[in-house]
Structure 1
Amino acid sequence: MRGERLGRGHRPLLSYGVRVDSHTVRENSHTVQVPVHCTRPRRGRRMAKRPTSVWTRPQKARREQPTLSRDQIVAATLELLDAEGLGGLSMRRLGTRLNAGATSVYWHVTNKDELLELALDHVMAEVRTPDPAAHGWRAAVIGYARSLRTMIHRHPWTVPLFGSRPMLGPNAARAMDGLLGACGQAGFSAYDLEYAQAVVNDYVIGAAGSEASWRANQEEFSTEDWMASMGPYLEVTGERHPRLTAHLREVWAKESGEVMDGRFTFGLGCLLDGLEARAQDRAPGVR
């Protein structure tokens, strides 16, 4: 009996990295979902490419000692990224900085994405999480959040890389394991544990990324310079948006590192209050 296609909204049987064939068939009134590896590829169709990572790719055989070590390449990469951002990094410029040919770089990585994986994991070593067993889950999350924020301020080029690829390196794994331990001690597990760590990371990356962007683009001007420049404009907009104008004059005019830190602390505290309340709602015996 010929197979009958189901609707596009039909949910695949397998997930988490195991791809299921795009069609589902009915045979003898039974629904059958067939994984790709159990079917022959159609003639003329190429097999799907698998994602790669510098951490999962098998290491090359050491037939010859490379001219440069991985640490040397990562150090030069960080110098370029910290000085010029993601736009300033290319394999050619890296080779020039190292005074070496591309062959030496490609011995360690196959492309620029893998190079960025190494660089991101290197700076993740700066992120620390206090022991939740000794300090409590809340203090541990605060320590992690502040540590991650400081790292992003030092290396703002990291912001677009978060979420672009799985972070599989040893330093990122250690940092994530520490955050999961803290959120787990708060009472979260399974999917709720995933959601808890994600909301912490999303808040820190968003807040710290915005702070780093502001700092990088305001090196020439102070807040006072901006307020003086906007004076006539605020006089006009004050009639249409009185609350915003009053707030800008009261708070934004005093923008400083202290105000910025207070804003981050306030937001983090609200987030943790919400997580704590959610964890209590899910505690056994709590209605």
Structure 2
Amino acid sequence: MSATIPAPERSTPRQPLSRGEVVDAAIRIVDSQGIEALSMRGLAQELNVYPSAIYWHAGNKAQLLSLIYKRLMQDLQLPDATALEWDEWVLAMASAVRDEFGKHPDLAARWGSQLQVTSSGLEFAEQVLKVLSRGGFSDVQLPLVYNTVSAAIFGWITAEFATEPADAEEEWQSYLEKHVSESISQLPTINRHRKNLLNQAFSLRWESGQKAPMKASFEFSMRVMVEGLKSLKT
């Protein structure tokens, strides 16, 4: 026999629930507890409503995640495209994307795991393509350059903010740090440059970008990408 869902407790009548409230609450849950903690029932409890109200406004969990990513894209503060050359704009845009997604590392880490087609995402694509087109790339080059820029930015963010195991504790991180430190004694190149590599380079980290940001490496990577794209035009 299935359990009866208790009626939400209400001391005073509340205003009608909005989709925006649902998305806001979902983001709060993910930011504080991780994406695994996000459920329609838990969200209903957070908002003190019946689960049916959540489904009405957000659909299923996959649709809810799409709404969340739509919100993240809407919150992006892109630089003024008329004030910068295309290459400067791409660098500024890349930093803006990383800054915004870095506020929600658990969502950033899972960006590439689900296809995203939202109105705000399409508007973002339009803006990027407009700037790249203005930069002088040919019709053939344009989709290649756009995909390169998008993959470089969002692929980096996904990797930098890769989440630690859900049950990770300080002991786990200490173990991983000890394991890496001991293992590199047999790896001369890593050992020689350990000061600048440990916990600062991919495959050598025991903390995610939330705790150990990789901003300098990100900016360097973006500059290298842009310089490479500029060489296509010479």
Aligned mates of 2:104, 2:113 — CA distance in 1: 16
Question: 1:180, 1:197 within 8 Å by CA — same for their partners in 2?
Answer: yes
Question: Alignment partner of 1:100: what SS?
Answer: coil
Larger Rg: 1
Aligned to 1:105: 54
Deviation at 1:136? Answer: 0.7
Question: Alignment partner of 1:127: what SS?
Answer: coil
Aligned mates of 1:229, 1:200 — CA distance in 2: 35
Question: Alignment partner of 1:132: what SS?
Answer: coil
Deviation at 1:165? Answer: 2.7
**One of 242, 245, 257 as aligned partner of 2:188:** 242
**Larger RCO, structures 1/2 (Cα 8 Å, 6+ apart):** 2
Question: 1:91, 1:102 within 8 Å by CA — same for their partners in 2?
Answer: yes
After TM superposition, list the pairs within 5 Å mapping 1:91-130 onto structure 2: 91-130=40-79
Amino acid at match of 1:194: P
Deviation at 1:191? Answer: 4.6
Aligned mates of 1:254, 1:201 — CA distance in 2: 26
Aligned mates of 2:169, 2:90 — CA distance in 1: 31
Aligned mates of 2:163, 2:38 — CA distance in 1: 22
**One of 181, 192, 196 as aligned partner of 2:145:** 196
Amino acid at match of 2:57: H
Question: 1:124, 1:175 within 8 Å by CA — same for their partners in 2?
Answer: yes
After TM superposition, list the pairs within 5 Å mapping 1:124-139 onto structure 2: 124-139=73-88
TM-score by length of 1: 0.62
1:160 aligns with 2:105: no
Deviation at 1:119? Answer: 0.9
Amino acid at match of 1:140: W
Q: C-alpha deviations, 1:143-202, integer Å up to 9, x for none?
A: 111111112211121442446234222x32332222112211222244522221221121
Question: 1:129, 1:141 within 8 Å by CA — same for their partners in 2?
Answer: no
Question: Alignment partner of 1:183: what SS?
Answer: helix
RMSD: 3.1
Query: What is the number of residues matched between the two proteins?
Result: 208
